Chain A
Amino acid sequence: MTVRIVTDSTADLPLEQAEAAGITVIPLTVFFGEESYLEGIELDNKGFYEKLAASKGLPRTSQPSPAAFQEAYTRLINEGADGILSIHLSAKLSGTYQSACTARDTLPGDLKKVPIEVVDSRSASAGIGGAALLAAEEARQGRDLETIKNLVLDRLARTRILAVLDTLEYIRRGGRIGAARAMLGNMLSVKPIIALKDGEVIPVEQPRTRSKAYARVAQLVEAMGPLADLSIVEASSEVGQELEQALSPVYHGTIAHYKLGAVLGTHTGPGTVGAVVVTQ
C-alpha cells in the first residue's frame, strides 16, 4: 500500500526534512498589514521575527483554504497514493483541521475511492512534526493506512508540550489563551509556563525569571517518567540553548531543535521556547 503523509506548516518541519521524508506540507498564511506570506515558503523563523520587531502592528494568521488541501490530495492520488494520512494543528487552535476535512468530503467522485484520514493532532509544532515523521517512516515500510493512523494516534497521546513565554500578550491577542487567562492581570513580571492539553492552552506556573522557568520545565519533564523522545522548539537559538542546558541533566538522549514558525510565533511572541516531550 502506498500511503502518503500530509501535514501543515505549523508542524515546523524543516523543508528539506519534509521533502526527504516525502511529506507534503500545506502552508498557513501570515499577514503583516496588507502583505501576506506563506509560512515556511515565503517566511521563515528568522524572517518572521525580524519583521515582527520592525512592524508597528501585530501580524495575523489564517488557515489554508479547503482548495489548497484538495489540490494536494488530488495530486497525491494522481501520483499513485492509495491512502492519505493528513495530520494537523489542534482543531481548538485553528480551522486548519476543518479545512482539511471539508476538502476530503468534497473531493470529486472518482477520487473519493482513496481513503483519506484527517487527524486532529491536538498538538502543535514538533508535536505534529514528530508524528508526521513517524507516519512517513511507517509508510515507507509499506504499512497500511489504518495501522499508521493508530501508531500516530498512540504517539500523539503520549506527546506533551511545555512552553516558556516572555509574555502572555501575544497569545491573549491571538485569542488562543484559553484557560491560561487565569494568569492574566499579574502585576509582577513573570515568564509564564503554558502547556497544551486536549488540544488547548492551559496555564502551568508563573516563575519570575527565565532561569527559574527552565528549571521548572526540567523538573516537570523529569516527573513525566521515562521518555521516548524530547525535542526543543525555539524562537531563537539562544533560548533553545538555554532550555537545552536546563534539560540535559534530566534527559540524556539527543535533543533535536526546531525553529518556531511564523504562525505559532505570531501567537506566542519573541523569546518563546518549548519542550516537546513524548513519553514511553
Chain B
Amino acid sequence: MQEQTVRPGRQRQRRISVFDGQDLKKSILAGAAWLEEHKEAINALNVFPVPDGDTGSNMSATMQSAIRNIAKSSETSASDIAARLAHDALLGARGNSGVILSQTLRGLAAGLAGKKTFTAPDLADAMQEAERLAYRAVIKPVEGTILTVVRESAAAARHSAERGDDLVALMQEVVNAARQAVARTPDLLPTLKQAGVVDAGGQGFCTILEGVWRYMRGEAGPAASPATPSTAEPAARKGRVSIEEEYGYEVVFLLRGSGLDVERIRQTIIDMGGVSTVVAGDEKLLKVHTHTPTPGKILDYGVSLGSLLDINIENLQEQSLNYAAESAAEHAAEEENRTESETPRIATVAVVSGAGFEKVFQGLKVSAIVPGGQTMNPSIEELLSAVESVAAQQVIILPNNGNVIMSAEQVSGLTQKEVCVVPTKTLCQGIAALLGFNYEADFAINCKTMTEAARHIQTAEITTAVRSAQIGGVHVREGDYIGVINGDLAVAGQNMDLVIQDTLQRMHIDNYEIVTLYYGQDVNTEQAQEIARRIKQAHSHLEIEVVNGGQPYYAYIFSAE
C-alpha cells in the first residue's frame, strides 16, 4: 500500500493507489464488522412484521461465513483472498439477500482474478462484474432493492476510476452513490414507501461498503476476529434429524382435594425435576402430567395434597427404545427384503421449523431435514450438506420458505448429484409436495408433479405482529394478531378468533374439502382443538385435522385443499 499525502499544510487526506491481499482482507473484515454492528437496525427495516428471515441477520451471517478463513490468513495475493472470500460466502449464504451478496463477492473475485495487487480501475471493473452476477442471480430483477444499490455503486466506481487512481476517493464516491440509492428505494418500490422504510438488502450492502470506506479512511481498525461463533460458523449439521431420547417416567394422575393451588403445585413439581409439566384444573380437581426420573417423589407429593385417581405411569425409555427397536427391526427386515433396485432413487430434502412439523415430514419419509431455525434461513452449505448426505443421486429440495428458494437453487451448481428445487414457500406447500410424490414416476416428472401439488394448496398463517406496519392497505399495530394468506398479509386485528375467521373467509375456505390446522409451540392442544371445533361449527362440510406443528412465531398455520 503506497501512501501519499496530498495538499501539505492543509488537512491531510489519505491517498491509496494500490491494494494487496492483506489490504483487501482488512477492508472486508471492517465491512463485515460494521454490518454486524448494525444488523439489528437493518432487521428493523423488514417490512413484514414477523421476525423470520431478517435481512440484517442473514447478510451478516453470510459475511461472517465469508471471512472465517481469510480472517487469520497472511496471504498477500488479492486474487487469492478474493477467491477464498467468494467461495466461503457462497457456502455461508443465507436468505435471498445473502445469496445476492455472495454473488457480488463472486464478481469481485472474478474481476480480481490473477491480480496480486489491484488499483482503482481494477476495483471498478470488479464491481462491474459484481453487478453483472448479482443481477444474473435473480430470475426477476426488481429495482428498489439491493440490485439497484449494487448497480449505482458500480457506476460510481467506474466514474471515479476514469478520473483518478485513488482508491479512497473511489470508495467515497461509491458510498455516496450507495447511500443515495438506498434513500431512493422507497420511490422505486411502493411497499417500501407504504411501510415508510428503505430496502433492507440495499441498506445492508451499503453498510458493508461504509465499513470498508471507514477502514480505508483510517477511521476504524479491522475487526480483530470474526464475530461470535453463533453467527460465524455454519452449524456442522448434516441435515439429519436426531432422534430424541427420553429418560425417566411419564406420570399422569388426577388429584382431588380442596383449596388446591394450581400454580404452586406446578412450580413445586418443576422444582422436583419434573419436565414437560402440565397442571390444569381448579382448586378441587386437577390433572397432573409430568416427566420425571423419580415418579415416587411426585406421587408422594400428590398424596400429601389430596387423593389420586387414574394414575398412569409409563417408562419413557422403554417406549422410545421400543419405538427404536420396532423401527430398527422394521429397518432390518426392510434391508433384507431390499434388492439393489429398491434403494431409493429419488431423495427429498426439506427445510423444516418446528418439532411437530419435523415429525410430519419424517412420517412422509423425507430423506433429510435441514432445521430452519428461528430467524435464520439455512445457509447454502447446510443445504448442500444435506443433499450430499442422502444415498440417492437424484435429490428434490423443498425450501418451504420464500427466502430460502434462491439458496436452494445455488446447490445444484455445487454438487455432482442431480438436484431439482420445488419452489415451496411454506411448510404446508412442502407437505403437499411430498404427498404428491409418485413412487412410480421418474425424477423429472416428480419434480413437475410435486410443484403442481404445492401450487394447489392454500396456506394461512396466524401470528402476532412484532411491530407496526402498513402493507397492502392493511394497518397493523404492534401486538395485533395478523393473518397471512399465501405470503400476503391480509388481516389484522386485536381479537384472535375474529382474525382467524376473517382470514379463513378471505381464503374462500368453503371451496375446499380438508383443512389441516398446525398449532405452534406456544399453543396447547386444547386451545387448538377449540379453534378447530369452532371452524367445524361454522363450516360443517369441512374435514378438519389438528396437528401439533410446534413451529415458532406462527400460532396457527392452516392449509386448505
Contacts and interface: CB of A to CB of B under 8 A. Distances in A.
A221 B274 CA distance: 56
B435 A190 contact: yes
Interface stretch (A24-32, A74-82, A178-186, A248-256): A178-186
B437 A205 contact: yes
Interface string A179-217: 101110111111000010100001111111101100000
A186 B437 CA distance: 13
A182 B543 contact: no
Chain A interface category by residue count = 20 to 34
A226 to B, nearest CB: 20
Contacts of B437: 205-206
A186 B363 contact: yes
A187 B359 contact: yes
A211 B364 contact: no
B323 to A, nearest CB: 11
Nearest to B333: A181
B440 A211 contact: no
Contacts of B360: 187-188
Contacts of B364: 186, 188
A152 to B, nearest CB: 25
A35 B440 CA distance: 40
A187 B363 contact: yes
B439 A205 contact: yes
Nearest to B327: A185
Contacts of A181: 330, 334
A203 B437 CA distance: 10
Interface string B323-342: 00000001000100000001
B547 interface: yes
B439 A182 contact: yes
Interface in B350-370: 359-360, 362-365
Contacts of A208: 435, 513-514, 561
B429 to A, nearest CB: 14
Contact of A209 (B334, B365, B514, B547): B514
B545 A202 contact: no
B438 interface: yes
B530 to A, nearest CB: 20
A202 B514 contact: no
Contact of B439 (A179, A185, A188, A211): A179
B435 A202 contact: no
A204 B440 contact: yes
B547 A185 contact: no
Q: Is the interface of B mostly helix, strand, loop or mixed?
A: mixed
Interface in B421-439: 431, 435-439
Interface in A44-60: none
Given A187-B547, A209-B513, A182 B438 contact: no
B317 interface: no
A208 B360 CA distance: 14
Contacts of A179: 342, 439
B129 to A, nearest CB: 46
A188 B360 CA distance: 7
B547 A188 contact: yes
A205 B440 CA distance: 9
B516 interface: yes
Contact of B545 (A183, A188, A205): A188
Contacts of B547: 187-188
Contacts of A203: 439
Interface string B430-473: 01000111111000000000000000000000000000000000
A239 to B, nearest CB: 16
B544 to A, nearest CB: 11
A206 to B, nearest CB: 5
B545 A209 contact: no
A137 B440 CA distance: 34
A202 B439 contact: yes
Contacts of A205: 435-439
Interface string B519-561: 0000000000000000000000001010100000000000001
Interface string B184-203: 00000000000000000000
Nearest to B435: A206
Given A182-B365, A209-B513, A211-B513, A188 B435 contact: yes
B525 to A, nearest CB: 14
Contacts of B438: 204-205
Contacts of B543: 189, 209
Contact of B431 (A183, A188, A197): A188
Contacts of B545: 188-189
A140 B435 CA distance: 48
A187 B550 CA distance: 14
B557 to A, nearest CB: 13
Nearest to A206: B435
Contact of B440 (A195, A206, A212): A195
Contact of A188 (B342, B365, B436, B516): B516
Contacts of B516: 188
A204 B439 contact: yes
A195 B436 CA distance: 16
B342 A185 contact: no
Given A182-B365, A188-B431, A202 B440 contact: yes
A197 B439 CA distance: 12
A12 B362 CA distance: 38
B226 to A, nearest CB: 41
Count chain A CB atoms within 10 A of each CB in B359, B440, B543 and give the residue with the most. B440
Contacts of A209: 513-514, 543, 561
A158 B538 CA distance: 49
Nearest to B364: A186
A182 B346 CA distance: 13
Given A205-B438, A208-B514, 19 more contacts: A181-B334, A182-B365, A185-B362, A186-B363, A188-B435, A188-B516, A188-B547, A189-B545, A190-B435, A197-B440, A202-B439, A204-B438, A204-B439, A205-B436, A205-B437, A206-B435, A208-B435, A208-B561, A212-B513
Which 10 pairs from chain A and chain B are nearest by CB? A187-B363, A203-B439, A185-B363, A186-B363, A209-B513, A187-B360, A206-B435, A208-B514, A205-B438, A209-B514
5 contacts: A183-B365, A185-B362, A188-B360, A205-B439, A212-B513
Interface of A: 179, 181-183, 185-190, 195, 197, 202-209, 211-212
Interface of B: 330, 334, 342, 359-360, 362-365, 431, 435-440, 513-514, 516, 543, 545, 547, 561
